[in-house]
Amino acid sequence: MLQYQRLKAIFGNPSNYARQWTEPAASVSSMSKKPGKGGGTGKNSKASKDEVKPAPAAGPVLVDGKTGNLIVKILAKPGAKTSGITDVSEEGIGCQIAAPPIDGEANTELIKYLSKLLDLRKSDISLDRGSKSRQKTIVLDKAGCRHSPEQLLVIFRNEASAGV
């Protein structure tokens, strides 16, 4: 208790400090809004904090909201004897690749294998991310791909079960 009294004597009433942190600062709320900056819907406004943002879609096959292209998450395992799908999980499609991870050979083999598996042209499949990583993101062009995300998952699951 003595320590509390010393602190109170030095800093004043601690309830004032608690109130200071819970109440919004007057200088922030009295700032004028500049025209043309969105009318208070920026990241610091109360309107954006109250809005509920939808959760990002989970799973290995997604649809890009802007372009409509299909995005496939791949967990690559280069250096295998044969190319194939090993597993399908929320993190991605496990894919063993029959090429070494040298000079992009595994990436080329992955695109070649997916084009054969999904019956697409190689030009409709592109490597978006992960050219030097085992975690890759493949983009399937919406103009060339006639499969839905659900159909792709069925194809990948069938291939994974056939390879076992």
**CATH label of the domain that carries residue 98:** 3.30.1200.10
Distance between CA atoms of residues 110 and 115, nearest Å:
8
DSSP 49-91: HHSPPPPPPPSSEEE-TTT--EEEEEEEEES-SS-EEEEE-SS
Question: By residue range, what is the domain housing residue 73?
Answer: 61-163
Express each pLDDT in 26-60 by its tens digit.
Answer: 444 444 555 555 555 555 545 445 555 554 567 89
Higher pLDDT, 98 or 55: 98
pLDDT given at position 22: 46
Residue 84 above 70 pLDDT? yes
Is 8 a domain residue? no
Task: Report the distance separating Cα 75 and Cα 134, nearest Å.
Answer: 6
Query: 10 Å Cβ neighbour count for 162?
Result: 9
How far is 99 from 125, CA to CA, in rounded Å?
18
Q: Stretch 114-119: mean pLDDT, rounded?
A: 96
Residue 107's pLDDT is 96
* Per-residue pLDDT tens over the stretch 147-164: 999 999 999 999 999 876
Among positive and negative, which fits the CA dihedral 26, 27, 29, 30?
positive
Give the number of domains in the chain: 1
Q: Using one digit for the tens of pLDDT, what is the confidence trace for 12-28?
A: 665 555 444 444 444 44
Q: Please report whether residue 1 resides in a domain.
A: no
Task: Judge whether residue 137 has pLDDT over 80.
Answer: yes
Would 43 be classed as within a structural domain?
Answer: no
Handedness of CA 69, 73, 78, 81 (dihedral sign): negative
Is 55 part of any domain? no
